[in-house]
């Protein structure tokens, strides 16, 4: 693999925003920019490029879930257009067990609008003789067939989130991932190296993992992958309020504390404000998951009660009525948005979202005009993992079928790129720059910066340098 054993990188003759020259990366930093630099022993040379950008930072994704997706049956909208497709794919998956999931079939990306409504009895008609668990594409719902229900002890448990009708478990489990994970068999460890390679191919050199994990072991899994080099990117992790006082395992940086607002049940404003106070008291900012209008209203009210802290952010801000925008601006809260959802889910939004809410979906331009900082992310694996797709969506606001969601919320091309160039600690802040002394995180491009803006496409990523090493060559 390229970069192994190399002690530095020399990128030849590229435009970098501030000018043009050779860029030398040493010990994870940009050591020198100049013309005609001499290749030194142990340095890996990158030639034939045209320009570089600072490495992209995805401000919100889920690394372990991305790894799990790779070992799962894909029921996403590209694979399942009808309940018939769902039946065919699950039946096909009932073949050979995989190393990772054993006899279990783990399927992801399911959406009722294409696959039809699911419960244990519908799944039993598709696969009865092997345990099946199907994750909704939102990541918040699992549906188990009866065999799986029996294996995890669903009937006898009073776990919150286990849906019951007349006392009988339906196989549907909402927001109880930790509980479910403790009851399903664990196979091979997740392949984070494959996730890292995929991200590197997209020019992503840093990520913020926004999973509200309760168990420090999950952070240690990420830290170990950074330490071994399996994860080449810079990794910032959030964790839930339970881990607010825990230190970061070596190799990881700690970001804000992730707080879910709603989905299972909405918290009180007072409860939410108390959680904010606790995180702030421990020197941590908060990142509030707000995927509905109610969640956003509660979050803003809680911030007004607890007071904001630098680095506080709202994740998704999926539905933001305009009066909330002004209040977010006064509070100085950044919104971390996922324009890629407009492409992937936009047609469904247009069909299903309340007409009153449509103008408020995944705002971008009005946030910026009001002075609210906006950072970009993909929410992979629950949204498409390609930040360039998200950038194009931020500009065009187009859905998969070509319709547009809130076209007035579109931003310019440079701004769309900037959503992924901000510092991890300030997602709504200015773009990082390629400068001597800066971190050696670079997207090496096969074309001019002007052309990249025109296309906003990952195909122009010729190589990626992360933490001073070449981690991808196209
Ligand atoms: Zn997320």
Spatial separation of the C-alpha atoms in residues 223 and 225, rounded to whole Å: 5
Indicate the helix (H) or strand (E) that contains 431. Answer: none
Specify which residues 204 forms β-bridges with: 56
Backbone dihedral region for residue 283 (phi beyond 0: left; psi -120 to 50: alpha; all else: beta): left
Query: Would you state the pLDDT for residue 451?
Result: 97
What is the whole-number distance in angstroms between the Cα of residue 60 and the centre of ligand 1? 6
Q: Looking at residue 438, what DSSP letter applies?
A: S
Q: How far is the CA of 395 from the centre of ligand 1 (A)?
A: 22
Query: Which residue is associated with the tokens 């790129």?
Result: 417
Tell me whether strands 51-54 and 43-46 are parallel, antiparallel or unpaired: unpaired
- For ligand 1, the distance from its centroid to the CA atom of residue 129, given in whole angstroms, is 33
Distance CA 408, CA 394 (A): 11
- pTM for this prediction: 0.89
Ligand 1 centroid distance, CA of 304 (Å): 24
The 3-state secondary structure of 223-254, one letter per residue? HHHHHHCCCCCEEEECCCHHHCCCCCCCCCEE
**210 C-alpha to center of ligand 1: Å?**
6
Give the Cα separation of 173 and 200 in Å (integer).
Answer: 34
- H helical segments located in 160-284: 177-181, 192-201, 216-228, 269-281
Q: How far is the CA of 260 from the centre of ligand 1 (A)?
A: 10
Distance CA 280, CA 332 (A): 15
Position with higher pLDDT, 113 vs 346: 346
pLDDT of the residue at 301: 98
Query: What is the Cα–Cα distance from 194 to 64, expressed in whole angstroms?
Result: 11
- Reduced to 3 states (helix: H, G, I; strand: E, B; else coil), residue 461 is strand
CA 211–ligand 1 middle distance (angstroms): 7
Residue 121 C-alpha to ligand 1 middle, in angstroms? 29
Please compute the mean of the pLDDT values over residues 340-350 and round it to a whole number: 94
Compute the distance from residue 358 Cα to the ligand 1 centre, in Å: 21
- Rounded to a whole number of angstroms, the CA Rg of the chain reads 23
Mean pLDDT of 286-314: 97
Distance 254 CA to ligand 1 centre (A): 16
Whether residue 125 has pLDDT greater than 70: yes
The helix or strand, by DSSP H or E, that contains position 10, with its residue range, turns out to be strand 8-15
Residue 159 pLDDT? 81
Q: How far away, in angstroms, is 63 Cα from ligand 1 center?
A: 10
C-alpha to C-alpha distance for 170 and 429, rounded to whole angstroms:
46
The predicted model gives 438-454 an average pLDDT of 97
Q: What is the pLDDT of residue 182?
A: 84
Distance (Å) from CA 108 to ligand 1 centroid:
15
Report phi then psi at 118, rounded to 5.
-120, 140
The number of C-alpha atoms within 13 Å of 295 and in the hemisphere containing its C-beta is: 19
What is the whole-number distance in angstroms between the Cα of residue 175 and the centre of ligand 1?
13
Tell me the average pLDDT across 382-396: 97
Span 382-406, mean pLDDT? Answer: 97
Confidence of residue 6 (pLDDT cuts 50, 70, 90): low
Angle between helix 63-70 and helix 216-228 axes, rounded to 10 deg: 80
Residue 266 CA, ligand 1 centroid: distance in Å: 17
Cβ neighbors of 142 (< 8 A, separation 6 or more) are 133, 134, 135, 136, 172, 173, 176, 177, 180
Query: Tokens 């190399």 identify what position?
Result: 6
- The average pLDDT across 387-392 equals 98
How distant, in Å, are the alpha carbons of 15, 70, 198, 219, 246 from that of 63?
A: 32, 11, 11, 11, 20
Cα 29 to ligand 1 centre (Å) = 30
The region of weakest confidence among 157-161, 200-204, 207-211, 427-431 is 157-161
Compute the distance from residue 216 Cα to the ligand 1 centre, in Å.
18
Q: Which helix (H) or strand (E) holds 141?
A: strand 141-144
The per-residue pLDDT for range 290-302, each reduced to its tens digit, is: 999 999 999 999 9
Cα 65 to middle of ligand 1, angstroms: 10
CA–centroid distance, 62 to ligand 1, in Å, is 6
Which 8-state DSSP code applies to residue 170? E
Strands 461-466 and 442-445: antiparallel
Q: What pLDDT sits at residue 287?
A: 98
CA quadruple 438, 459, 429, 376: dihedral, nearest 10? -140
**pLDDT tens profile 34-80:** 999 999 999 999 999 999 999 999 999 999 999 988 878 889 888 89
Which of the four pLDDT bands, split at 50, 70 and 90, describes residue 95? low
Q: How far is the CA of 433 from the centre of ligand 1 (A)?
A: 27
Q: What's the pLDDT at 264? A: 67
| CA 450, chain centre distance (Å) | 27
Tell me the average pLDDT of the chain: 92
Phi, psi dihedrals of residue 153, rounded to the nearest 5°: 70, 40
pLDDT digits (tens, 9 = 90+) for 230-269: 999 999 999 999 999 888 899 999 999 999 998 668 999 9
Q: What pLDDT, on the 0 to 100 scale, is given for residue 3?
A: 43
Residue 128, pLDDT > 90, answer no
What is the Å distance from ligand 1's center to 167 Cα?
31
For residue 383, report the distance from its CA to the centre of ligand 1, in Å: 9
Show the domains of the chain with their CATH numbers.
1-55+434-474 (2.30.40.10), 58-62+190-431 (3.20.20.140), 72-181 (3.10.310.70)
Ligand 1 center to 379 CA (angstroms) = 5
pLDDT tens digits, 413-443: 999 999 999 999 999 999 999 999 999 999 9
Alpha-carbon distance of 173 to 291, in angstroms, equals: 19
Measured in Å, residue 426 CA sits from the centre of ligand 1 at 18
Dist. CA 149 → ligand 1 center (Å): 26
Residue-wise burial string across 51-87, b where 16 or more C-beta atoms lie within 10 A, e elsewhere: bbbbbbbbbbbbbbbbbbbbbbbbbbbeebeebeebb
| Residue 109 alpha carbon to ligand 1 centre in Å | 14
Q: How far is the CA of 315 from the centre of ligand 1 (A)?
A: 8
Average pLDDT over residues 186-197: 86
Is residue 183 pLDDT above 90, yes or no? no
Report whether 80 contacts 137 (CB < 8 A): no
Q: pLDDT at residue 98 above 90?
A: no
- Cα–Cα distance for residue pair 442/45, rounded to 1 Å: 14
Q: Quote the CA–CA distance of 369 and 335 in Å, as a whole number.
A: 13
pLDDT bin (cut points 50, 70, 90) of residue 2 is very low
């Amino acid at each position: 693999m390229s970069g192994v054993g190399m002690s530095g990188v020399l990128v030849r003759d590229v435009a970098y925003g501030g000018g043009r020259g050779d860029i030398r990366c040493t010990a994870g930093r940009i050591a020198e920019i100049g013309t005609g630099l001499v290749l030194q022993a142990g340095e890996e040379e990158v030639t034939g490029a045209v320009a570089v950008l600072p490495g992209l930072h995805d401000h919100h994704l889920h690394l372990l879930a991305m790894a799990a997706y790779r070992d799962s049956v894909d029921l996403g909208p590209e694979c399942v257009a009808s309940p018939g497709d769902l039946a065919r794919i699950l039946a096909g998956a009932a073949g050979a067990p995989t190393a990772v999931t054993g006899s279990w079939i783990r399927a992801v990306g399911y959406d009722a609008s294409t696959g039809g409504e699911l419960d244990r009895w519908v799944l039993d008609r598709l696969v009865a003789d092997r345990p099946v668990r199907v994750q909704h594409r939102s990541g918040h719902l699992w549906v188990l067939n009866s065999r799986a229900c029996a294996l995890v002890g669903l009937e006898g448990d009073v776990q919150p989130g286990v849906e019951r009708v007349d006392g009988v478990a339906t196989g549907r489990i909402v927001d109880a991932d930790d509980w479910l994970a403790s009851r399903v068999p664990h196979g091979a460890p997740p392949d984070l190296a494959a996730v890292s390679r995929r991200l590197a191919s997209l020019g992503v050199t840093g990520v913020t993992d926004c999973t509200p994990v309760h168990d420090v072991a999950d952070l240690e899994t990420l830290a170990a992958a950074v330490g071994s080099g399996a994860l080449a990117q810079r990794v910032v992790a959030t964790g839930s309020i339970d881990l607010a006082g825990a230190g970061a395992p070596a190799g990881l940086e700690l970001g804000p504390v992730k707080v879910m607002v709603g989905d299972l049940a909405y918290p009180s404003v007072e409860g939410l404000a108390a959680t904010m106070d606790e995180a702030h008291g421990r020197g941590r900012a908060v990142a509030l998951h707000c995927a509905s209008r109610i969640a956003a209203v509660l979050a803003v009210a809680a911030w007004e009660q607890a007071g904001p802290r630098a680095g506080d952010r709202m994740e998704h801000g999926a539905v933001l009525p305009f009066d909330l925008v002004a209040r977010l601006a006064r509070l100085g809260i950044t919104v971390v948005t996922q324009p890629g959802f407009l492409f992937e889910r936009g047609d469904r939004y247009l069909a299903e979202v309340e007409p009153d809410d449509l103008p408020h979906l995944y705002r971008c331009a009005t946030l910026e005009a009001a002075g609210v900082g906006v950072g970009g992310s993909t929410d992979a694996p629950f949204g498409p993992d390609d930040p360039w797709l998200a950038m194009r969506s931020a500009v065009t606001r187009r859905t998969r079928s070509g319709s547009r969601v809130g076209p007035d919320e579109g931003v310019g091309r440079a701004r769309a790129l900037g959503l992924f160039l901000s510092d991890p600690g300030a997602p709504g802040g200015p773009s990082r720059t390629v400068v001597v002394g800066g971190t050696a995180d670079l997207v090496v491009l096969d074309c001019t910066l002007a052309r990249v803006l025109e296309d906003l496409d990952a195909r122009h990523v010729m190589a990626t340098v992360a933490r001073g090493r070449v981690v991808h060559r196209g």
